[in-house]
Amino acid sequence: MTPETSIHSSADLSLAQQATELIDARIDDLAGPKSLSLKVLASDLGTTATHLQKAFTRVVGISPWDYGAERRAQAFRAHLKSEPRVTDAIYAAGYGSASRVYEQSGFLLGMSPASYARFGQGAEITFAIVDSPLGRLMVGATAVGICSLAFGDDDGSLTADLKSEFRSAGRISHDEVGLRPVLEDVVEHLETGKLPSKRLTLDVQGTAFQRRVWQALLAIPAGGVLSYAELGLEMGMEAGQRAVAKGCATNKVSLLIPCHRIVRSDGGLGGYRWGVKRKQRLLAMETTQNGAEER
């Protein structure tokens, strides 16, 4: 038993295991009008919907519905690589119709189903790099939104990292003119703390749990910090520190998804993908900006 699960009661662990097995066996029922609801799942397991929801989330870290959606997305991605037609993969994975998966494709994949079937080929990413108070700042974006926001010391390394991170993209090209409005908003947000405009939409890929971690990060106010353990508690995970840390580490969009607001339990800064000195400076800037707003 891992440290993350050791404090859970045997009853919760058993119930969560039974629920995951039942969901795995009924993936096809998760689509359309025959959706496997929490109430039906709880009834089949001999418990209440409320108890199942709480126990499952405590142990697994996400809700039964999110778990089912992620399992179906995994099946879809697997079928896309083996089925000759996208529509065959859609129905093989348990989606009730082609429209449902295309509506959810950004949520599940971050790119269209046909593009994912070609291992991301066809996805076009533009990027630009500008000066900022924290050094060189790079924004990478698809037609949907920002997929990467990184800080660095030199343009060559930032560009190489982007191409490595998105090596399956069909095209990665420099476009400072096209991204100028986005760059201006990002830099203004960094310098003043002003909330980004609506044009700063995100196009990020992640599992249901990773998305849940990112949503929790977005709820931390500027000028505030939490430890991994505290963030886990906010998510209803009493012992999810390691899982939460991994979720934070997968974040590709610095600043806008504020993983810099997570510190060590002893108050130390901890690590930061884009440099601890940048993290320290960023937190100091946010504290100053927050204080100015309150005066």
Give the residue numbers marked as catalytic: 259
Residues 138, 131 contacting (CB under 8 angstroms): no
Q: Which residues contact 91 (CB under 8 A, 6 or more apart)?
A: none
Cα 228 to the center of its chain, rounded Å: 16
State which amino acid sits at residue 278. Answer: R
Cα–Cα distances in Å, from 216 out to 32, 37, 161, 246? 29, 25, 26, 14
User: CA-to-CA distance for 24 and 14, rounded, in angstroms?
Assistant: 15
User: CA-to-CA distance for 254 and 274, rounded, in angstroms?
Assistant: 8
C-alpha torsion angle, residues 159, 260, 190, 183 (rounded to 10) = 30
Three-class SS of 159-185 = HHHHHHHCCCCCEEEECCCCCHHHHHH
Could you tell me what percentage of the chain is helix, strand and coil, using 3-state DSSP and rounding each to the nearest 5?
A: 55, 10, 35
Cα-flanking dihedrals φ and ψ of residue 170, to 5°?
A: -70, -35
**Token representation of residue 208:** 């249901």
